[in-house]
Amino acid sequence: MTDNFKQVGERLKGLRDVLDIPAQEVADLCGMTVEHLMKIETGEADPSISDMSKISKKFGISLDVLLFGEEPRMNSYFLTRKGQGLSVNRNESYIYQSLASGYRGRKADIFLTQVDPMPEGQSHSPNSHEGQEFHYVVEGEMQVIVGEKEMVLHEGDSLYFNASRPHSINALGGKPVKFIAVVIN
């Protein structure tokens, strides 16, 4: 668990405390046990971006507040220079760099995402959430599983899909894959 996501857990606990939200309500929303939620809040477990997105929508706060501790301020445009987007590392194999974190009221969350290869025989667990996703491979290759469909994407390939279907991503070729992920809610 990285320090970034320990801080996400602390912010989630603070949100529940301030809004007096029962742990069971958040756990039910995310389809997890209260015990797992408590582990996320104490930094012992890894929260998913999709769960944080569900929580932010349900309780009317910006995903940026949960992920980065900052409220978006811009409403005309927001410029992200190369390597300057706010980032958060989800475990040791996922890195999300937000490319639109400062834009208030946006309709999509846009990330430059890096997924590192897993040890042989292992893969990332699938997740699902409301909305749609678009992925564009910038570097490397990845396996994407949406429902029962398994696809391999190479540099320059893209995929648009219904994010309510269980989906997972795995880097191929023993190298990290970098891709633009657009999550539309």
Averaged over successive runs of 10 residues, the pLDDT of the chain (185 residues) comes to 71 87 91 90 82 83 79 82 79 82 88 92 84 96 96 98 94 96 90
Closest CA to 47 of 29, 60, 59: 29
Q: In angstroms, rounded to a whole number, what is the distance separating the alpha carbons of residues 78 and 72?
A: 10
Position 47 scores a pLDDT of 79
Position 1 scores a pLDDT of 42
- Phi, psi values for residue 83, rounded to 5°: 75, 5
DSSP string, 114-173: EEPPPPTT--PPPB--SSEEEEEEEES-EEEEETTEEEEE-TT-EEEEETTS-EEEEE-T
Position 2 scores a pLDDT of 54
At 106, the amino acid letter reads R
pTM listed for this prediction: 0.76
Position 151 scores a pLDDT of 98
Q: In angstroms, rounded to a whole number, what is the distance separating the alpha carbons of residues 33 and 47?
A: 13
Position 92 scores a pLDDT of 63
Alpha-carbon distances, residue 28 vs 49, 103, 126 (angstroms): 16, 30, 18
